[in-house]
Structure 1
């Protein structure tokens, strides 16, 4: 399972628990979900929601084609991508690095 698939899966589980109206321990017991794992993902999903910040990017057409765009990711990674990449290529790289 990819990280994206895990994120989707646990988002659904957490939403299901919240919609159920029962406590987390009861929900975990009834659905055979590990209690510690549930809390790990609950915390991770809350952090993801709080940490997502969108920044407007302005590209200057006069930059040399060998320039790079530096992206600092929330997990501490720093990525340097060639400015010549298309938007689709940049999105592909960012998804792969999540």
Structure 2
């Protein structure tokens, strides 16, 4: 039997997954969702929206090193990892992280 989800329900699942820190596969198993359907939702959510910062991210901070190197942006993730990149790379990095 195929279950139809409203746009609101799909978005709730995507938001809950981002906040959970779980892999897509594990989240889908826990919520009895088809992984291919979940990827479809994720793809279409990204087409509809510009780069969004998942609510699970800790706010980014801009760091100016003392040795006068290029400014960098550091994203601190909830799992304790951090990602450092140049400000011009931030959009691409955020897109890549949203696919994880």
Q: TM-score range by the shorter chain?
A: 0.3 to 0.5
Give the TM-score normalised by the residue count of structure 2: 0.44
- Between structures 1 and 2, the one with greater helix share: 1
Give the TM-score normalised by the residue count of structure 1: 0.44
